[in-house]
């Protein structure tokens, strides 16, 4: 595997950054997870735009233009012979000292890894996920806005630990008001009465790119209305269907929450139609992988 670090490529074992990098010391940085399908990088422009938005929000100036960065992502995929894969693009505050002051870091560090990812076993896409609600609340926007895709993911990691300790692979996180925010790394949708509902960004949900793709697919290809609405656990318990979306997860059904079966306990018709539509779209669109 060839890994991009600040304009150069390194073998996996030689790919290193300083222990004084503030991304390691303080989680000070931003990232994107991106998918490649059929020799194309899906929604690359949108991912890059979100990366720059996240960086702007934390006063981190990325030392490359968006165009150059997209080319670097594409070349990294090409060097690693990626046809269908996963890309992790990371920008840290860079090398500094042991103090918290980010302005002591002279230049950000840029890392691009192109490989594979499997968040859930393939059978879960056919059968659906069991989930639990965890006590760890989603961090409120007043503390760390979820629109910033930062390297500080400990809030999500704690929820993931609680899910696994609870015997499942995924958890629903509530916000401090008790409304559904998102899952540990995915946006959440429910289907009720032929309509689709999802928590608003203001509830603590990430501005998911796959989330937006699914909203557009539902409206334009399925003719199903999507509403952003505050949701409670009760809304999930009584839903006809439930599914999660994310770059790594793609679209995966949720069939049980806290011991309550959702709908029939199997992936629903609207969920399955969206999964097919999403798969078709990913095979057709994207930024070409090239040297």
Which are the catalytic amino acids? 149
48, 125, 176, 213, 271 from 216: Cα distances, Å:
20, 21, 29, 5, 14
Task: Please state, in angstroms and rounded to a whole number, the distance separating the CA atoms of residues 198 and 266.
Answer: 20
Judge whether 255 and 266 are in contact, CB under 8 Å: yes
Judge whether 199 and 180 are in contact, CB under 8 Å: yes
Q: Identify the CA nearest to 42 among candidates 14, 84, 103.
A: 84
152 phi/psi in degrees, rounded to 5: -85, 90
- In three-state secondary structure terms, 196 is strand
């Amino acid at each position: 595997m060839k890994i991009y670090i600040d304009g150069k490529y390194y073998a996996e074992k030689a790919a290193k950054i300083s222990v004084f990098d503030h991304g390691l010391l303080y989680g000070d940085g931003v990232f994107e997870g991106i998918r490649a399908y059929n020799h194309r990088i899906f929604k690359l422009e949108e991912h890059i735009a979100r990366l720059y938005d996240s960086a702007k929000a934390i006063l981190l100036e990325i030392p490359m233009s968006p165009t150059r960065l997209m080319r670097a992502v594409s070349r990294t995929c090409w060097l690693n012979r990626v046809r269908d894969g996963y890309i992790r693009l990371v920008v840290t505050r860079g090398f500094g000292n042991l103090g918290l002051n980010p302005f002591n870091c002279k230049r950000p560090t840029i890392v691009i890894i192109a490989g594979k990812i499997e968040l859930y076993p393939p059978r879960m896409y056919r059968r659906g996920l069991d989930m639990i609600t965890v006590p760890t609340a989603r961090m409120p926007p007043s503390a760390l806005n979820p629109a910033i895709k930062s390297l500080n993911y400990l809030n999500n990691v704690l929820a993931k630990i609680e899910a696994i300790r609870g015997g499942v692979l995924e958890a629903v996180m509530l916000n401090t008001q008790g409304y559904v925010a998102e899952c540990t790394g995915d946006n959440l949708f429910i289907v009720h009465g032929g309509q689709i509902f999802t928590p608003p960004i203001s509830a603590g949900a990430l501005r998911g790119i796959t989330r937006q793709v699914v909203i557009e697919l539902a409206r334009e290809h399925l003719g199903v209305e999507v509403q952003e609405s505050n949701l409670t656990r009760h809304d999930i318990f009584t839903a006809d269907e439930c599914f999660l979306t994310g770059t790594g997860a793609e679209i995966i059904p949720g069939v049980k929450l806290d011991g309550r079966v959702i709908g029939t306990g199997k992936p629903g018709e609207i969920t399955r139609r969206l999964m097919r539509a999403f798969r078709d779209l990913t095979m057709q669109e994207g930024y070409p992988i090239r040297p």
